[in-house]
Structure 1
Amino acid sequence: MIIETSSWGILEIQEDQIYVFNKGIPGFEDEKEFAIIPYENSPFGIMQSMSEPGLSFLLADPFLFEPEYEFELPDHETTELDIESSVWVRCIVTLQSSIEESSLNLLAPIVINPDNNNCKQIVLHQSGYQTKHKMKTLSAAGQLFAKGGE
């Protein structure tokens, strides 16, 4: 399937790269379907709206930058996403002039069930995490940047 995007041009995606947010994401409740496209040889990926070419987010695997990142997924969220065994977690990256100055939203991760492609952005109330953890301050960031993001 070919999709047209404002930021990334024309992209070819597979059906299994389309993920569904049944309730949308905070601030974009009407946007339900997104393609998640990994950047090869990189800890990053793109989450592109299927209906709005101008709406995309940069994602990262938070555990690559902060291996001790942890939270408990509430039972009602596990049930809503129909999670039985597999789960992926990604966080939205806010870009700045350099990747080291950019930040990772650890307060509101995107939880993905790769078995059925359902996902949801979960706000971790009372977790101590913030929406803007600078990449350079995360425990494993130095190792990733030293390897050139590989």
Structure 2
Amino acid sequence: MLIETSAWGTLEISEDQVYNFPKGIPGFEEETEFALIHFEEGPFSYLCSLKNDALSFLICDPFVFHPEYEFELPQSDIDELKIQDSVIVRSIVTLREPVDQSTLNLLAPVVLNPITKTGKQTVLHTSAYQARHPLWAPDMARIKKEGE
């Protein structure tokens, strides 16, 4: 299947990359179908709307940057996404200048069921995590600067 994106032009994707978000993503409730585009290397991917070619979200595996990240997915979300064994958790990234000031949303992870191809951005109401959590832990940012 071919999709149009404003950032990368026409991309060929498989049906296996399409996820349905029945309730959309908060702030974009009308957007219910997204393609999950993986980068060949690294923990980053894009969620690209199939309806709005200008809408995409940079997402990442939060456990790569914050191995201690943990939360309990509400049973209502488990039921809604029909999660049994497989689940993918991603966080939306906000890029900033300079890049070491970039953040990720640990308060509202994107939860994907790779079996049913459904997804949801769920808000963790009883969490100490932030919507603008530093992408790099302070010691990682220091190591990154030293290596430059």
TM-score, length-scaled by structure 2: 0.91
Task: Tell me which amino acid in the other structure corresponds to 1:39.
Answer: F
Distance in 1 between residues matched to 2:50 and 2:135, nearest whole Å? 28
Q: Paired residues, what number?
A: 146
Segments of 5+ residues of structure 2 without an aligned counterpart are: none
Q: Deviations over 1:35-87 (max 9, x none)?
A: 01111111100100000001000000000000110000111110100001000
% identical equivalent positions:
54
SS in structure 2 opposite 1:100?
Answer: helix
Bigger mean CA offset, 130-139 vs 96-105: 130-139
Aligned residue runs from structure 1 range 46-61, under 5 A: 46-61=46-61
Kept in 1: contact 2:66–2:137 (CA 8 A): no
SS in structure 1 opposite 2:11?
Answer: strand
Matched, 1:81 2:108: no
Q: What's 1:9 paired with? A: 9
SS in structure 1 opposite 2:123?
Answer: coil
Kept in 2: contact 1:66–1:140 (CA 8 A): no
Q: What's 1:22 paired with? A: 22
Q: What's 2:45 paired with? A: 45
TM-score, length-scaled by structure 1: 0.90
Q: What's 2:95 paired with? A: 95
Segments of 5+ residues of structure 1 without an aligned counterpart are: none
Kept in 2: contact 1:106–1:132 (CA 8 A): yes
Kept in 1: contact 2:65–2:136 (CA 8 A): no
Displacement of 1:126: 2.2
